[in-house]
């Protein structure tokens, strides 16, 4: 057995003791890292950049195994006895700090002292933020913090009342067109409004969601929470989404208990919407190339108690300006466009 290998085995076999934990230093290697593998910058087997190596598990490298087994930063820092760190998602185990190391799901490794993370270099923190999962377990120890400036103060400043105008209907019924026309009309009147368009949101906030039933539920929940914030800021928030399930829309209504949720139902027939088919989606759904398409093989639950219902007339959809006029008239009558 060669001397370097014997030295590594001796280090791995050393029983854990009260000594300081073995922490891996941050190296400057720029070798490509494999997501889900463990990185050891001090491994003598050179990679393409001249140092370090990756392993499918910490046990495959004696240094990683030692650091993983003997991590006791609390004793080193004079902090309370070590407690297992709470992980960000189910199934994530212990972590060690390394040079850009990743856990089993490809996220950077972090060493904790008690429940407090040890400060890491800026590059590692930024990398960790960019790979953070979009959903995390429920938080328990959190408290609401009130601010001196409240909703009433913002509404007084803007000379309007915050509300959510929720536009629902089949694909092709004119939701986005109405939302943008309404936003422009309010803007010309000196009122501050913002449009949350369903497709636009799927380019960013909801780009991790598909169109399965559970994804649709989460999509509407997120938009409802964002719309609530806009209304609390004193804006007229115009949300334009198919939002096919009645229960999800009612859940969004429940977020605004002061009656500031205005549901607008574009009650256009499936035949009209399919004939218009501005995005070509109905054609794809009929050909079986899109599954779970609302109105074709997924249901649309029409509102039962909407504030505004806009219907087609003799098979023709009203003009965008006419539809926006109906909504503006309602907002004026309910006092949303003035203090």
Q: Which residues are the active-site residues?
A: 243
Distance CA 247, CA 231 (A): 21
Judge contact between 42 and 60, C-beta under 8 A: no
Beta bridge partners of 267: 311
Six-digit token pair at 238? 């115009």
CA distances from 283 to 15, 42, 120, 241, 305 (A): 67, 58, 52, 20, 32
CA distances from 98 to 26, 68, 110, 121, 280 (A): 6, 11, 8, 11, 50
Six-digit token pair at 102? 């990743």
Distance CA 189, CA 237 (A): 15
How many angstroms separate the first and last alpha carbons of the chain? 85
Distance CA 234, CA 159 (A): 9
Sign, Cα dihedral of 204, 208, 213, 219:
negative
Beta bridge partners of 313: 316
CA distances from 161 to 49, 251, 252, 305, 328 (A): 61, 21, 18, 22, 13
CA distances from 10 to 5, 52, 59, 66, 140 (A): 9, 20, 14, 11, 44
Judge contact between 285 and 242, C-beta under 8 A: no
Judge contact between 244 and 301, C-beta under 8 A: yes
């Amino acid at each position: 057995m060669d001397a370097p290998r014997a030295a590594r085995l001796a280090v791995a076999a050393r029983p854990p003791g009260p000594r300081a934990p073995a922490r891996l230093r941050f190296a400057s290697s720029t070798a490509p890292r494999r997501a889900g593998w463990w990185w050891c910058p001090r491994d003598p087997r050179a990679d393409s950049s001249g140092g370090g190596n990756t392993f499918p598990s910490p046990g495959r490298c004696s240094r990683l195994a030692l650091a993983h087994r003997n991590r006791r930063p609390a004793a080193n820092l004079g902090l309370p006895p070590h407690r297992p760190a709470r992980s960000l998602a189910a199934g994530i185990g212990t972590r060690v700090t390394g040079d850009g190391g990743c856990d089993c799901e490809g996220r950077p490794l972090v060493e904790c002292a008690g429940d407090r993370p040890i400060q890491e270099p800026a590059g590692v923190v930024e990398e960790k933020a960019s790979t953070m999962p979009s959903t995390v377990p429920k938080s328990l120890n959190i408290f609401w913090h009130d601010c001196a400036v409240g909703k009433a103060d913002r509404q007084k400043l803007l000379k309007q009342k915050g509300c959510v105008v929720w536009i629902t209907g089949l694909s092709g019924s004119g939701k986005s067109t109405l939302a943008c026309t309404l936003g422009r009309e309010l803007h010309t009147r000196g009122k501050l409004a913002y449009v949350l368009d369903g497709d636009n949101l799927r380019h960013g906030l909801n780009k991790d969601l598909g169109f399965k039933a559970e994804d649709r539920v989460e999509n509407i929940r997120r938009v409802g929470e964002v719309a609530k914030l806009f209304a609390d800021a004193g804006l007229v928030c115009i949300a334009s989404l198919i939002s096919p399930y009645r229960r999800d829309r009612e859940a969004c209504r429940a977020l605004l208990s002061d009656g500031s949720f205005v549901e607008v139902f574009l009650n256009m027939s499936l035949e009209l919407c399919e004939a218009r088919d501005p995005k070509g989606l109905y054609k794809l759904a009929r050909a079986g190339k899109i599954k779970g398409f609302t109105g074709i093989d997924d249901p649309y639950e029409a509102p039962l108690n909407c504030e505004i219902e806009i219907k087609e007339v003799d098979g023709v959809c009203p003009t965008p300006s006419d539809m926006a006029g109906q909504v503006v008239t309602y907002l004026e009558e309910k006092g949303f466009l003035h203090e």
